[in-house]
Amino acid sequence: MRRLISTGHLWRGLMVGSVLAFLLMGCGSDPVPVSPLQPLKSPLPLNVKWKVSLGHPLDPALVGDVLYLANESGELSALDAKSGNNLWSVKTKENFSAGVGSGNDLLFLGTRKGEVLAYSLKGELRWRSQLSSELSVPPHATDGVVVARTLDGHIVGLDAVDGKRRWLVARPMPALVLRGAGGIVTSRGAAFVGQPGGRLLAIDMGTGNVGWEAAVSLPKGATELERVSDVLGNPLLGEADVCAASYQGKTACFDANKGTPLWAHETATVGGIASSGNKVYVSDEKGVVTAFNRMSGTVAWREESLQGRHISAPGATEDYVVVGDIEGMVHFLSRVDGSVSGRIKTDGEPITQQPLALGGNLILVQTRDGKLFALTP
- Tens-place pLDDT, residues 92-120: 999 999 899 999 999 999 999 999 999 99
Write the DSSP assignment of 70-102 as a string of letters. EBTTSEEEEEETTT--EEEEEE-S--B-S--EE
**pTM to 2 decimals?**
0.91
Hey, what's the torsion of the CAs at 196, 198, 202, 207, to 10 degrees? -30
Structure confidence at residue 56 (pLDDT): 83
Highest CATH level, class, for 274-377? mainly beta
DSSP run (H or E) holding 53: strand 47-53
45-54 tens-digit pLDDT: 999 999 999 8
Structure confidence at residue 10 (pLDDT): 28
CA 1 to chain centre: 26
Lowest model confidence (mean pLDDT) among 18-22, 142-146, 212-216, 293-297:
18-22
Mean pLDDT estimate for the chain: 90
Q: What CATH number matches the domain at 54-170, 3.40.50.720, 3.30.1490.190, 2.40.128.630, 1.10.10.10?
A: 2.40.128.630
pLDDT more than 70, % of the chain: 92
Structure confidence at residue 30 (pLDDT): 67
Please check whether residue 308 is in contact with residue 34, taking contact to mean a CB–CB distance below 8 angstroms.
yes
Query: What whole-number distance in Å separates Cα of residue 342 and Cα of residue 334?
Result: 9
Q: Kindly state the average pLDDT of the residues 243-260.
A: 96
**Confidence check: pLDDT of 215 > 80:** yes
120-172 tens-digit pLDDT: 999 999 999 999 999 989 999 999 999 999 999 999 999 999 999 999 999 98
Q: Kindly state the average pLDDT of the residues 322-350.
A: 97
How many alpha carbons lie under 13 Å from residue 59 in its C-beta half-sphere?
31
52 pairs with which residues across the strands?
Answer: 372
Report CA Rg, the chain.
19
Closest to 25 (Cα-Cα) out of 355, 371, 350: 350
Lowest model confidence (mean pLDDT) among 20-29, 258-267, 276-285:
20-29
CA distances from 24 to 13, 245, 294, 348 (A): 17, 21, 32, 14
pLDDT more than 90, % of the chain: 80
323-335 tens-digit pLDDT: 999 999 999 999 9
CATH dotted code for 175-269: 2.40.10.480
pLDDT band at 352 (very low <50, low <70, confident <90, very high): confident
Hey, what's the torsion of the CAs at 231, 236, 237, 238, to 10 degrees? -140
pLDDT band at 174 (very low <50, low <70, confident <90, very high): confident
61-74 tens-digit pLDDT: 999 999 999 999 99
Structure confidence at residue 177 (pLDDT): 84
* Domain parsing of the chain, residue ranges: 54-170, 175-269, 274-377
Q: Kindly state the average pLDDT of the residues 284-289.
A: 96
Structure confidence at residue 301 (pLDDT): 98
Strand arrangement of the beta sheet that strand 125-130 belongs to: 101-103, 106-110, 115-120, 125-130
Please check whether residue 303 is in contact with residue 287, taking contact to mean a CB–CB distance below 8 angstroms.
no
Write the DSSP assignment of 107-133 as a string of letters. EEEEBTTSEEEEEETTS-EEEEEE-SS
Q: Kindly state the average pLDDT of the residues 284-290.
A: 97
Closest to 248 (Cα-Cα) out of 271, 277, 280: 271
Q: Kindly state the average pLDDT of the residues 346-366.
A: 95
Structure confidence at residue 8 (pLDDT): 29
Number of neighbouring beta carbons within 10 Å of residue 269: 25
* Domain pair 54-170 / 175-269, same fold: no
Q: Kindly state the average pLDDT of the residues 249-253.
A: 96
Q: Is 160 left (phi over 0), alpha (psi -120 to 50) or beta?
A: alpha
